[in-house]
Structure 1
Amino acid sequence: MFIVRWVLGRIILFLNFVFTPKKRQRPLAEQAKVDEQTQGLQLYQYAACPFCVKVRRAIRRQGLNIVTVDAKQAEHQQMLVEQGGLAKVPCLRIDEAGETQWMYESSDIIDYLNKRFA
């Protein structure tokens, strides 16, 4: 089973590389404002997870600069479980106004990003 997952993961990464969506272009002042708004966002993800790829593609289409965190690393996975409540990816960590919110489910994350930055 490990080998099948590994092979499928590499296929997903290859196809994502080949068919990478175009990044949204904004005027410099508008992009700087968007970059400032995304400073409080972090995406906890696995590189070859198809749902994480889906979210990363949406982030690229929007032209957002969101920090991605590899949830396979022990310290990141521990933070995800302790603060977010689940060891599940993709997970968007939203730090706003001194509060932290953890958003799971790729479709919910994409909807949030589209509403906030579209």
Structure 2
Amino acid sequence: MRFVFKFIRLILTPFMLLSEKLTTPKGIERDLASQAKVDADCQQLALYEFKACPFCIKVRKEMARLSLNIKKCDAQNNQTHRQALAGGGGRVKVPCLRISDNNGDVQWLYESNDIIAYLQQRFANN
């Protein structure tokens, strides 16, 4: 049974990634100073993802719409990222946004809708 799901994923993955490429919205445009500030703020964020996960695709599209340069960590194929997600967030579930603050505190935010709401609240008006 596991083989069947892997086979289905193998077939669907290229179509999902092509669909993402074709339907990703154009990013909002900011002046250089505003974009530089947003880019600096994004240095404290990392998205742990699986490339073909539909919920991760949803978050990446919103990141593109908001013109956010957030580090993406492949938790499916990179064991270091997978272990960081399991150790820090407590479970290997994607998408997950790692949010660091200036004090070194880290918050792990799961659920695509929660991540999108956080990104919109923090960056939509910048």
TM-score computed with the length of structure 2 as normaliser? 0.90
Look up the match of 2:113.
107
One-letter amino acid of the counterpart of residue 93, structure 1: R
Return the offset for 1:14. Answer: 0.8
Return the offset for 1:11. Answer: 1.2
> Percentage identity across aligned positions?
49
SS in 2 for 1:2: helix
Residues in 2 aligned to 1:83 and 1:30: alpha-carbon distance in whole angstroms: 31
Structure 2 stretches lacking a partner, 5+ long: none
Look up the match of 1:14.
18
TM-score computed with the length of structure 1 as normaliser? 0.96
Structure 1 moving runs of 4+ over 3 Å: none
Look up the match of 1:82.
87
Residues in 2 aligned to 1:100 and 1:27: alpha-carbon distance in whole angstroms: 30
Output the aligned Cα RMSD.
0.8
SS in 1 for 2:73: strand
Q: How many residues align?
A: 118
Structure 1 stretches lacking a partner, 5+ long: none
Return the offset for 1:25. Answer: 0.7
One-letter amino acid of the counterpart of residue 92, structure 1: L
